[in-house]
Amino acid sequence: MRSIVPVQIGEIILADQQVDAIVIGAGPGGYHAAIRLGQLGKSVVCIDRDEVGGVCLNWGCIPTKALLHVGEVVRHINHADAIGLKVSGLEFDREGIAKFKTDVVNSNVGGVKTLFKANGVTFAYGQAEFKGPKQIAVKAKDGATSTLIAKDAVVIATGSAPVDVKAWPRDGETIINSDDAVGMKRIPKNMLVIGGGVIGLEFATVYTRLGAKVLVIEALPQILTGTDSEISKTLGRILKKQGVEIMLGTKVGDLKKDGKVVKATFNGEGTSGKDETREFDMVLVAVGRRPVTDGLNIQAAGLKADDKGFIAVDAQMRTSVPGVFAIGDVTGQPLLAHRAMKQGVIAAEVISGDKSAAFDPVAIPNCVYTDPEVATIGLSEEEAKAAGYTVRIGKFPLAASGRARTMNESDGVIKLVGDAKSDLLLGMHIVAPQAESLIGEGVIALEMGATLEDIGLSIHPHPTLTEGIMDAAEAAHGKAIHIVNPKPKTPSPAPAGAAH
C-alpha cells in the first residue's frame, strides 16, 4: 500500500512523511532503483540536488556521445573523397552543435521523468542528509527543509565527480574539467588534456575533430591503463594518425595562466627528460573521479567510508547498516553507468524481498567512445598470464574484414584471450567502429562459459563486423580463412601452483 501522497515532479516535499524507500541520487543507478521499486509496488521518493539523470544523462555518457557522433560525422565528411564524394565548405556552428547535444540530453532526462511518473516515483530536488539510518532531511534550494522516513530502506546512489587538483585550479574557462568540456562554450586552437584515460581520450577525439590541436599527456607508460597492452598501443597509433599528439610517461608540473592562455610545463619520456613549456588556450584536467558523499552525513546513519571515500557493500548491495543500501560509483571501481544500473535493480529487488537477487557478474564490459571505439571485457593477455593461465590468443585485423572495407575502415583489431588448456574464453578486446555493440557477444560468451571453439563454430552473418569475432576465434586454433594463420607456438607453462 503506497503511503505517500504523490507530488509534482521537481517539487520538494513540504511535510514530514513516511515512505517505503528513499533513493538518494537520480543518476543511472538511482533512477533504475527507484523505477524498479515502483514497479514492485513500493512507495518511493528519489532525491537529487541537481537534475534527473545525474552525471550520465546531463554531463557524462549521453552528452559526450552526442558530441562524439558529431566528430564521427566530421571524419566521414573529411574522408568523403575516398568513396567518390566531393564535399566542400564544411563549417562548424558551435552553437548548433551545443544545441544538438542539449536537445539529446533534454530528451533523455524527460524520458526518465515520464518513467518516474508512470511508476509512481516522486522526485524531489534537494540536498539529502542522514539524521539516522532511515531518516533523511531534505533541504531545497530555497532553504525549505522536510524530513522523510523510510519504512524499508534507503539507497545511496550519489555517484562520482571529477577529481580537482589543487595545483591546477579550475576556472571553468581555460582550466576545465569534464563537466566544463561537455558544455562546449568555445573550441580552442590548442588544447592540453592531462590524463590519457577514457575521459581524456574521448574529449581529445571530440575537440580534435572540431579543429583543435590536442596534446594528451599521461604520466603512466600507456594510455587506458589496465587495458590490454596491444589494444592500448593500437588505439594510440590510430589517434596519432588522426592528429592527436600523445606523450606517455610524462608529468605536468606548473600551469600558469597568462591572460587568455595557460603556460604548461611538463617533463618525462615525452620530452626526453627535459622540462618543456608550451602555451594552450584550454587545459582539460581528466585525472579521474571521486565518490560523492559530501553533505550526506553518512556518519549519522552509522556508516563509514574507506580512505578513498567509497562505501563497502555485499553482493546484495547492503552496507554494514541494516536497511541502508549503496550502489554505483560510490561503492568503488569500476565507475561505470551500466554497473550502477544493474546494481540499482538488484538493490530494489532485495529491498522488495527477493532473497536470490545478487550482483555477481563474471565480468563487466568497458567501452571507450573514441573513433574508432574500444570495448573490452574479461582478462587482458597480461592479466591472464599474471593469473597463471597458459593463454591462447586469437586476433583478426579489421583490414581483413570485407564489411570494414565497405565502410572505408581499416584500422582496428579484434582480440580474444583464451585458456590454452580448457579453451574457455577469458577476455575479448576490440578496437573498431561499433565496438561498443560488438562487445555484447563477449558479455554473453563469458557469462555462458563459451569456449573459443564455440565462438568459431557459431555461424555469424556475412558481411558484418561481428564475423570478425568468429574469425578471431578460428585464428586462435589456426583455422582462420580470411587471414594467413600464424605459425603455432608452443605455449609456455604456467608458473607452479598457479590457477588454471
Report the C-alpha gap between 456 and 477 in whole angstroms: 9
Report the C-alpha gap between 85 and 22 in whole angstroms: 56
Residue 275: exposure state from Cβ atoms within 10 A (0-12, 13-18, ≥19)? exposed
Report the C-alpha gap between 78 and 149 in whole angstroms: 58
Element (H, E) at 111: helix 94-118
Report the C-alpha gap between 156 and 325 in whole angstroms: 6
> What secondary structure does DSSP assign to 173-212, as a single string?
SSEE-HHHHHH-----SEEEEE--SHHHHHHHHHHHHTT-
Q: Is the dihedral of CA 431, 437, 439, 442 positive or negative?
A: negative
Report the C-alpha gap between 222 and 229 in whole angstroms: 8
Q: Give the closest residue to 260 by CA, choosing from 178, 192, 168, 175.
A: 175
Question: Long-range contacts: 452-458, Cβ < 8 Å, 24+?
Answer: 452/392, 452/394, 452/416, 452/418, 452/423, 452/424, 452/425, 452/476, 452/477, 453/423, 453/477, 455/416, 455/425
Q: What are phi and psi of 58, to 5 degrees?
A: -100, -35
Element (H, E) at 68: helix 61-78
Report the C-alpha gap between 74 and 264 in whole angstroms: 29
Please state whether the peptide bond connecting residue 372 to the residue before it is cis, i.e. omega within 30 degrees of 0. Answer: yes
Q: Give the closest residue to 420 by CA, choosing from 444, 441, 392, 453.
A: 392
Catalytic residue among 79, 338, 462, 477: 462
Pairing of strands 289-291, 324-326: unpaired
Residue 314: count of CB within 10 angstroms of its CB: 12
79 is catalytic: no
Please state whether the peptide bond connecting residue 463 to the residue before it is cis, i.e. omega within 30 degrees of 0. Answer: yes
> How many helices and strands in the chain, by DSSP H and E?
13, 22
Report the C-alpha gap between 334 and 336 in whole angstroms: 6
Cα angle 367, 372, 377; round to 5: 30
Q: In angstroms, what CA-CA distances link 448 with 357, 414, 416?
A: 18, 20, 16
Q: How far apart are the first and last CA of the chain?
A: 52
Residues annotated catalytic, as ranges: 462
